[in-house]
Amino acid sequence: MMRACWLSSSSSVVSGSARNSCTHFRRHRRHCRVQLNARCVRASNAMSDRFFKNDLPDYDVSNPVDRFPSSQDFSVAAIAKKDEIVEATWSRQRGLSRDLTLYTGVVGTAFLCFKSFERTGNKNDLLKCLEILNSSNADVTRHLKPYVTFLCGRAGNYALGAIASKYTGDTTNMLKYLELLKQMVEEISSIGNSGMPDELLYGRTGFLWACLFVNEHLGDESITWSSLRPIVNAVLTSGRAGARHHANCPLMYEWYNTKYWGAAHGLAGIMHVLMHFPLTKEDANDVKGTLHYMIANRFPSGNYPTAEGHEDDTLVHWCHGAPGILLTLCKAAEVFSSDAIFKQAAIDAGEVIWKRGLLKRIGICHGVSGNAYTFLALYRLTHDPIHLHRARAFSSFLYENARHLVASGRMHSGDHPSSLFEGRGGLACLWFDIGKPEDSRFPAYEL
C-alpha cells in the first residue's frame, strides 16, 4: 500500500481520510487486477458477460429518424441526477465526506456541479461546487498529501477551486488555489526523473492535466509552460528509459510492473496529456511513434491490449481498451493532422465500441456512459452524423433502461454508485453534454 505514497516525507503520517484514500488506491488496484484476471476466463464467456448485445438501430442515412429523448429531456434528467448526487454525497453527509478524490469522492460531486453550471448557467451550482471545494480544502491538503493528480489527489481540489473561484469573481480565493498548485509544480519538479509514476491516476501526467485544465479556463500562462517543462521532460525521460528494450516503440512506462496501454494507467493517458504541450520535434516524433506502435499492434478486432504482451481481447473501457485510446487518437488526429492514420484508427476503434461497448455498468471509467462519450469525440472529429446517432443511442439506452436493469440486477450501478467515474455522476455529465455535442468533453480527460 505504502508504495503508492511516493512523497515519503509526508507518507509517515497516514490517518483518517488518508487511510481512506489509500483504501481507495487499493480498491482501484484491485479493480485493475479483477479486470485483468478476466483473462483467465475463456474469452467468449468473458465477453458475453461484460456487455449487452447491441440491438440498437444503427444510423440509416436513407432514413435518419431521431427517436431519442430530446436535449431538454436529457437536461432535465441530468439536473435531477445531479441533485440526487449532491444530496447523497454532500448534504446528507453534512459536508463530512471521507473520500476526497474526484474519481470516487466528493470532488467529483463538485465537478458535476461545475458541469451543470457550464450547461445551465445556474449560479447556485457554481456556488455549491465552491462550497464543497472550500469545505474540503484543508482536509485535502492534510490527508491527500502523497497524491498529486487531478483524479485521485490534491490537484483536483486545487484546480477546480481556482476555476470555480474565477467564475464567482472571488480573485483572492482563485489566487489561493493557484498558489497551492504552483507549490505542487515546484514540489514535483524537485523530485526529478525518478520516484514517481507517470500515469494519469497517480502519476505526473495526472498532475499536468490539472494544470492544463486551469490554463484552459484561466488563460494559457496562468501556470507557465516553462515551469511545467521539467515535469514534461521527466515524463519523456522516463518513457525513453522504459523503452530501452522496445525497438519499435519510443516511449514505454510501467505501473506496478505492468506496461499498461490504456487511459487510466498507461500509454494512452500519458500520450494524451503530452500532446497538449508545445513539444520539440524529437519529443513529438516519439509521441507519434508510440501511437503508431499501438495502432500497428492492436487486435484484429480493432480493440487494444490492456498491457504490453497481453493477448486477451476482452476489455472495452475508458480505463483499459479501445475507448480511452480512441479519445487519445482523436487528439492525435488534431495535433498530427497530416497523418491520416490517427483519424482512421479512431473510427476503427469506434466500431469495436459500437459492437461491444454497451457494458453492463453505467459509469464513465468502465461503463456505457464513458463509451457514449467516445462517439461524441468521433462526431466532433469527423462531423459524420453516424457518430452522433451512436452517442445518442447509448445515452438513450441508459435513459430508458438503466434504472430497471440496475434494480433487477442485470446492470451494475458501480462500486461507488454516486461517484463521477464509477457511478451515476458520469452519467449525469453525459446527459448534460449530449445536447451540446460540439462542446462535449469526457470529464477530466478531454480539454
Annotated binding-site residues read 319, 365-366
Q: How far apart are CA 5 and CA 130, in angstroms?
A: 28
**Nearest CB to Zn ion, comparing residues 36 and 162:** 36
Quote the cell numbers at residue 285: 516524433
**Nearest CB to Zn ion, comparing residues 112 and 184:** 112
**Nearest CB to Zn ion, comparing residues 26 and 383:** 26
CA dihedral 444→94→75→381, nearest 10 degrees, is 0
CB of 365 to Zn ion, least distance (A): 3
404's CB contacts (< 8 A; 6+ apart) are none
Residue type for 179, please? Answer: E
Q: For the range 93-100, what are the long-range contacts, defined as Cβ-Cβ under 8 Å and sequence gap of 24 or more? A: 95/132, 95/135, 97/136, 98/17, 98/20, 99/17, 99/20, 99/21, 99/24, 99/416, 100/17, 100/21, 100/136, 100/139, 100/140, 100/143, 100/144, 100/157
**Nearest CB to Zn ion, comparing residues 177 and 421:** 421
Distance of CA 162 to the CA centre of its chain: 20
CB of 26 to Zn ion, least distance (A): 15
CB of 37 to Zn ion, least distance (A): 14
Binding site for Zn ion (CB under 5 A): 319, 365-366
Q: How far apart are CA 412 and CA 358, in angstroms?
A: 12
Annotated binding-site residues for Zn(2+) read 319, 365-366
**Nearest CB to Zn ion, comparing residues 178 and 365:** 365
Are the C-beta atoms of residues 359 and 316 closer than 8 Å to each other?
A: yes
**Nearest CB to Zn ion, comparing residues 307 and 365:** 365
Q: How far apart are CA 377 and CA 387, in angstroms?
A: 8
Q: How far apart are CA 357 and CA 368, in angstroms?
A: 7
CB of 364 to Zn ion, least distance (A): 8
Q: How far apart are CA 210 and CA 200, in angstroms?
A: 10
CB of 426 to Zn ion, least distance (A): 11
**Nearest CB to Zn ion, comparing residues 319 and 429:** 319
